[in-house]
Amino acid sequence: MQIGIIGSGSWATAIAKIAMDNGNAIHWWMRQANNIEYFKKRHHNPHYLRNNFFDTSRIHFSSEVTEIIQASDIIVMAVPSIHVESSLKGVTPQMLQNKKVVSAIKGVLPKYNILLHEYLEKQYQFPLSQYYTLLGPSHAEEVAAEQLSYLTFSGLDIDITTQIASYFKCDYINTHVNHDVIGVQYAGVVKNIYALGAGIAHGLEYGDNFLSVYIANCANEMQVLLKSLYEKGGGNDNAINYASSVYLGDLLVTCYSLHSRNRTFGNMIGKGYSVKSAELELNMVAEGYNASKCIIAINEHLQLDLPIITTIYKILWEGDCRMESFKALEQILI
């Protein structure tokens, strides 16, 4: 099976490692040709997970995304959601015919307020039946260190989803499959927003007790949102376990872990950094920032009570006082 990876950040690099450690050769798109030349010479990513070395004889690199797509049967999308459109520039619907797209993106496309599968359907007439997701809980840094991590693959056809998952299962990766393609994506989006809030709370010097209450309420709010989205799509979520790793597990690790860029970003905001200063300091995309605005826009149609997401959105986008906002949040958490 020919596996293509679109993206060159820490998570894309971790996915490449997983695929290769499972015996696969890969096709790997990187935007900048000079990064490819560096990789070929030094055998590691010049910017991310620099201690992981690769057998570059088993990697077909290209800065032309169309070349990687045409060479691949499975295409793993691992770029920040804000860069999806530019990353696929030059790709035509014909190029994606009979391909399987696996999304490792935990964000909404902010220009359109839609998920990746909706964008692919709109722009390329790409069917949901050929679309899959690869989601956590996991951190690129722990994958790089070969610490045991769990990945959940979702797709409408469980047999094909299981087959795709098998290409990424190895000694330090356990894989699970489910059919909730849309729900797991939204869970991956909102947990980043909640992690920003966890970081803000830490920056404001709240303790572990408050954080545990905060995350418990986040889990409840996330379930309210996912249930509503499932019902809107005409589905029945009775078979979905929202306490499983891809939902609650990913929320917990993103809120608690020091590896979490969203938690780190939020911590800076809590300590008084401006959004711009935090972005410059982090030098990585914190998906929860744009996601908070996107979910608020999506909720205009759903009309759900989402007080935690609304609070974080107003701090980040409307300049509400972080201390006063969390004081108000204290009173509604249960």
221 and 275 belong to one structural domain:
yes
Question: Of 179, 200, 216, which closes a domain?
Answer: 179
One domain for residues 54 and 169: yes
Cα 4 vs. chain centroid, distance in angstroms? 18
pLDDT at 235 over 70: no
Average pLDDT over residues 93-110: 96
Residue 111, pLDDT above cutoff 90: yes
pTM assigned to the model: 0.94
166 and 81 part of one domain: yes
d(CA 226, CA 240): 10
- Residue 282 or residue 117, greater confidence: 117
The two structure tokens encoding residue 204: 């404001």
Domain edge (last residue) among 179, 214, 230: 179
* Identity of the amino acid at 68: I
Residue 234: predicted pLDDT: 62
Residues 191, 175 within the same domain: no
Q: Is the pLDDT of residue 104 over 70?
A: yes
Ordered DSSP codes for 294-319:
HHHHHHHHH----HHHHHHHHHHHS-
Separation CA 134–CA 86 (nearest Å):
21
Domain identity same for 150 and 228 = no
Q: How far apart are CA 99 and CA 93, in angstroms?
A: 10
For residue 94, give the 3-state DSSP assignment.
helix
Distance CA 107, CA 32 (A): 23
User: Minimal CA–CA distance to 265: which of 328, 202, 323, 318?
Assistant: 202
pLDDT tens digit string along 4-32? 999 999 999 999 999 999 999 999 999 99
Mark whether 165 and 224 lie in a shared domain: no
Torsion of CA 74, 75, 76, 77, to 10 degrees: -160
Per residue in 153-192, pLDDT (tens digit) is 999 999 999 999 999 999 999 999 999 999 999 999 999 9
Max Cα distance, the chain (Å): 58
Q: Which amino acid is at 156?
A: L
What is the average pLDDT score of the chain? 95
Is 262's pLDDT higher than 70? yes
Is there a cis peptide before residue 110, judged by omega within 30 degrees of 0?
Answer: no
What's 90's domain CATH number? 3.40.50.720
CB 79 within 8 A of CB 9: yes
Residue that finishes a domain, picked among 179, 202, 236: 179
When pLDDT is cut at 50, 70 and 90, the band that residue 231 belongs to is: confident
- Radius of gyration, alpha carbons of the chain: 19
Domain that holds residue 100: 3-179
Neighbour tally for 52: CB within 10 Å:
18
What are the residues whose beta carbons fall under 8 Å from the beta carbon of 23, sequence distance 6 or more? Answer: none
Q: What is the pLDDT of residue 239?
A: 77
Q: Please provide residue 118's backbone torsions phi and psi, each rounded to the nearest 5 degrees.
A: -70, -40
| Per-position b or e across 284-311, b if 16+ CB within 10 A of its CB | bbbbbbbbbbbbbebbeeeebebebbbb
Asked if residue 40 and residue 170 are part of one domain, the reply reads: yes
Is there a single domain that holds both residue 88 and residue 214? no
Give the pair of three-digit tokens for residue 247: 């939902």
